[in-house]
Amino acid sequence: MTELKHHPAADVFPMFDKARHAELVEDICEHGQREPITLCDGMILDGRNRYKACVELGMTPQTKTYEGDPWAYAWSLNGQRRDLVEEQRYLIWKFCHEQSEAFQAELRRIEADANRKRSETQKGVPKKDARSDGGHCVPARSGPRPGKAAKSVASHTNAGAVARGDKLAKERADLAEKVRKGEMKPAEAHRQMKKDQVAGKVAALPPDKFTVIYADPPWAYNDKQGGSISESYGAAEKHYPSMSLSELKALGVPAMAADDSVLWLWATCPLLEDALELARAWGFKYKAQFIWDKVGHNMGHYNSVRHELLLICTRGSCTPEHVKLFDSVQSIEKTDRHSEKPEEFREIINTLYPSGKKLELFRRGKAPKGWKVWGNESE
């Protein structure tokens, strides 16, 4: 048997995951193939999962042919799948609509045909079926009213999802395709797009050797979408593109550090171990720390967190030039700007290390006097 290819209109929709596919194989093995696979131009327009299951079972699949608009037909059967999230559904609808000049007219024809057949069907046929491949034992035409759904999908979709979908489709068609196919979640795609945009704007790391390196990394947190701790930590994704620990390690910091140098590294409570690991990866050894008491509280998972840590790590021999012992706990009220650190800590650094080249990584805004800066928001 010649292997059948998928029609492009079918591949706009994601395939079943392993668990759902296994259930389909088991069902066909027990009951047989009860709904034929729809072909268009010799390719599978509807029934990719059924076809795959039949091949695995060594069965010759039953087929039928459709001669209308394939994009409208594919949308009519799959557009209301429950496993599609809102932005993903909109991107699929948008793509199908763009591929077909007669998309809406064909959907109206399909809807009229479905309504006619529905009226001829016995009253006992359930209105709610598992659409397309999801319920091969129920005739596909007894599904939802596709014309009504198609006409309302853009106007009834959350305005934010429409705007985000349009932006993604316009600026990163490759990521939009992954979202449509279920290979990437919308939020992940937008983070990747923003991260790539930032990477294109950020200047190369300075080629100099620095005695003092001050860094406030854009830590990546698992708690991105909410919860009490997101108020202080997880909300970072809403303000700037974060970096994973492996991405931070890959920065060329070791090459910029002088043989005798000091690293001042900000660390939040949940990621203290990551910060220590990062310092070691950059070639530094932990020596001491300052505690920034923010005065105001932030809710955490285990306690009310009102402080952050500024780790002091050295490479070679780099003790302070000026002997002055500052209090290890600095009580300074935080500002309203997310992740902004008090300038008092820079004054401490300047006091202890008055000479030598200084670099601030991930700096926002202009470079302070006597410092070089690097970051996507630095000037």
CATH number of the domain to which 333 belongs: 3.40.50.150
Query: 264: closest CA among 317, 211, 185, 192?
Result: 211
* Mean pLDDT in residue range 306-331: 95
Q: Is residue 199 one of the residues assigned to a domain? A: no
Query: Between 114 and 125, whose confidence is greater?
Result: 114
For 43, residues 6+ apart whose C-beta sits below 8 A from its C-beta are 4, 5, 6, 7, 10
Q: Are 241 and 105 found together in one domain?
A: no
Q: Is residue 302 one of the residues assigned to a domain? A: yes
Q: Are 230 and 259 found together in one domain?
A: yes
The mean-pLDDT minimum among 239-243, 286-290, 300-304 falls in 239-243
Q: Are 69 and 186 found together in one domain?
A: yes
pLDDT, residue 98, reads 87
Q: Is residue 183 one of the residues assigned to a domain? A: yes
Q: Confidence band (pLDDT; 50, 70, 90) for 134?
A: very low
Query: 73: closest CA among 118, 108, 115?
Result: 108
**Number of compact structural domains in the chain:** 2
Q: Are 239 and 172 found together in one domain?
A: no
Q: Is residue 11 one of the residues assigned to a domain? A: no
CA distance 176 to 170: 9
Contact yes or no for 265/311 (Cβ under 8 A): yes
Task: Label the pairing between strands 285-299 and 358-361.
Answer: unpaired
Q: Say yes or no to pLDDT of 333 above 50.
A: yes
pLDDT tens by residue, 29-55:
999 999 999 999 999 999 999 999 999
Q: Are 327 and 226 found together in one domain?
A: yes
The mean-pLDDT minimum among 65-69, 225-229, 281-285 falls in 225-229
Q: Say yes or no to pLDDT of 364 above 50.
A: yes
Q: Are 95 and 188 found together in one domain?
A: yes
Query: 177: closest CA among 88, 80, 285, 98?
Result: 88
The mean-pLDDT minimum among 40-44, 106-110, 357-361 falls in 106-110
Q: Confidence band (pLDDT; 50, 70, 90) for 112?
A: confident
pLDDT, residue 299, reads 72
Query: Between 322 and 237, whose confidence is greater?
Result: 322
Contact yes or no for 56/84 (Cβ under 8 A): no
Q: Say yes or no to pLDDT of 359 above 50.
A: yes
CA distance 334 to 337: 8
Q: Is residue 7 one of the residues assigned to a domain? A: no
CA distance 99 to 18: 30
Q: Say yes or no to pLDDT of 321 above 50.
A: yes
Q: Are 134 and 220 found together in one domain?
A: no
pLDDT, residue 116, reads 78
Q: Which of 135, 164, 192 is the last residue of a domain?
A: 192
pLDDT tens by residue, 194-249:
777 666 545 567 788 999 999 999 888 764 444 434 444 444 455 456 788 888 89
Query: 265: closest CA among 329, 312, 200?
Result: 312
Q: Are 154 and 216 found together in one domain?
A: no
188: domain range? Answer: 18-192
Q: Confidence band (pLDDT; 50, 70, 90) for 1?
A: low
* Mean pLDDT in residue range 274-299: 93
CA distances in angstroms from 371 to 137, 217, 350, listed in the order given: 70, 17, 10
For 256, residues 6+ apart whose C-beta sits below 8 A from its C-beta are 205, 206, 207, 208, 209, 210, 213, 359
Q: Which of 165, 192, 219 is the last residue of a domain?
A: 192
pLDDT, residue 147, reads 44
pLDDT, residue 298, reads 75
* Mean pLDDT in residue range 290-296: 92
Q: Which of 162, 192, 222 is the last residue of a domain?
A: 192
pLDDT, residue 240, reads 56
pTM of the model: 0.52
Q: Are 274 and 305 found together in one domain?
A: yes
Q: Are 154 and 248 found together in one domain?
A: no
Q: Is residue 197 one of the residues assigned to a domain? A: no
Please state, as a whole number, how many other Cβ atoms lie within 10 Å of the Cβ of residue 276. Answer: 17
* Mean pLDDT in residue range 93-110: 79
Q: Are 28 and 79 found together in one domain?
A: yes
Question: For residue 265, how far is the Cα from the chain centroid?
Answer: 27
Q: Are 24 and 169 found together in one domain?
A: yes
pLDDT, residue 239, reads 47
Q: Is residue 233 one of the residues assigned to a domain? A: yes
Q: Is residue 2 one of the residues assigned to a domain? A: no
Q: What is the mean pLDDT of the chain?
A: 82
pLDDT tens by residue, 5-27:
999 999 999 999 899 999 999 99
pLDDT tens by residue, 175-201:
999 999 899 999 999 888 877 766 654
Alpha helices in 65-142 (DSSP H): 70-78, 86-99, 103-120
Q: Confidence band (pLDDT; 50, 70, 90) for 133?
A: low
Task: Label the pairing between strands 43-46 and 285-299.
Answer: unpaired
